[in-house]
Amino acid sequence: MTDFSGMTRSACPAACKIDHCVISGRAVCSHPCGSGLQEAIALSDPGAVLRYAEASKLCKPIRAQNLVEESQ
């Protein structure tokens, strides 16, 4: 399982670096609340698709929590 700890609606997981995204496995950000998974990566890397799907599931509760906080 990939470590997505630290991921928020606007921040990448703590394990991401400028030259490596834990979701795409490349130097291309694939944050589900940001740029998303590029089609070229999705077509060539099934592992990236699985990591993106996993991160997307985690992003849904983050989005809901952020909406609650923004409305207060």
> What's the DSSP call for residue 26?
S
Residue 53 tokens, joined: 């799907």
- Select from 59, 68, 47, 49 the least CA-distant residue to 6: 59
Return the domain boundaries, the chain. 1-72
pLDDT at position 70: 55
Kindly give the confidence (pLDDT) of every residue in the chain, 72 residues in length, as a single tens digit, with 9 standing for 90 and above.
678 999 988 899 999 999 999 999 999 999 998 889 999 999 999 999 999 999 998 877 655 455 555 555
